[in-house]
Amino acid sequence: MLLFFGSTILSVFIYRWVPVYFTPLMAIRAIEMKKEGREVKCSHHWVPLEEMSSHMPIAVIASEDQMFTKHNGFDLKAIEQARKEAAEGKRRRGASTISQQTAKNVFLWPNSTWVRKGFEVYFTFLIEKIWGKERIIEVYLNSIEMGDGIYGVDAVAHEHFNKDAINLTRAQCALIAGTLPNPRKFSSKNPSAYMYKRQRQILKQMNYIEHLWKEYLEEQNKEEEGE
């Protein structure tokens, strides 16, 4: 038990500063491609948050987790709503926060089991306490799957828009964010009518989220100055 807790806490501390160049999901996808007889592809370029378009974190928060700056890693209201809808026989929907998705992407595997969920709660708690929101969103944007064999913002910017992540427009960021529920089904390179609809919805929500994100960053700066 001591070895487990010591090693996991140490790994979280290391990734507080060290870029995450490879994740379990990348390995799993590579194995799947190999088994299917396809060429193995893993396009991934780590870039710090300041070298991404400032619209990108706003877009993914608007799309994936609008309470990101307010919760402690878990959106209890969304979890309860998802539980009620499942009990009523409605279509299951995800209630995972960006923090939970980041914990899963970096430290765990994609299959949804109770064991993995338990580890996800544990790692989510750790990264919220040790990393903070800015580092969580930075790692998320660098490790999230954004297409078949494509991981992170800079890789999808090059693959789909032939530019660096910092040069992505507001509309392109919203389009990328719109694919995240299922980036191997939805494409930001060849968007469908549904994707353009998602893009418009996200663009509208970004106006509100941008205010929340700036407010959060200002509060963090004041706290750091106070220290």
Task: Extract the runs of DSSP E, i.e. beta strands, from 141-185.
Answer: 145-147, 150-151
Residue 7: inside a domain, yes or no? Answer: no
Other CB atoms within 10 A of residue 220 CB:
14
Residue 220: inside a domain, yes or no? Answer: no
102: β partners: none
Residue 141: inside a domain, yes or no? Answer: yes
List all residues 6 or more positions away from 223 whose beta carbon is below 8 Å from its beta carbon: none
Residue 54: inside a domain, yes or no? Answer: yes
8 A C-beta contact, residue 168 and residue 176: yes
Residue 222: inside a domain, yes or no? Answer: no
- Give the C-alpha distances (Å, rounded to integers) separating 177 from 107, 150, 190, 212: 22, 14, 14, 18
pLDDT of residue 76: 74
**Token match 């990348």: residue?**
26
Residue 224: inside a domain, yes or no? Answer: no
Q: What is the pLDDT along the chain (227 residues), one digit of tens a residue?
A: 888 889 999 999 999 999 999 999 999 999 999 999 999 999 999 999 999 999 999 999 999 999 999 999 987 776 666 666 555 565 554 568 999 999 999 999 887 788 888 999 999 999 999 999 999 999 999 999 999 999 999 999 999 999 999 999 999 999 999 999 899 999 999 999 999 999 999 999 999 999 999 988 888 888 777 76
Residue 201: inside a domain, yes or no? Answer: yes
Closest of 84, 96, 140, 87 to residue 121, by C-alpha: 96
Q: How many domains does the chain have?
A: 1
- Distance of alpha carbon 181 from alpha carbon 78, whole angstroms: 16
- pLDDT (tens digit per residue) in 51-72: 999 999 999 999 999 999 999 9
- Distance of alpha carbon 192 from alpha carbon 157, whole angstroms: 18
- Give the C-alpha distances (Å, rounded to integers) separating 84 from 66, 96, 116, 120: 20, 15, 22, 22
Q: By residue range, what is the domain housing residue 23?
A: 18-215
Residue 128: inside a domain, yes or no? Answer: yes
Q: Which CATH number do you get for residue 200?
A: 1.10.3810.10
SS3 assignment for 88-100: CCCCCCCCCCHHH
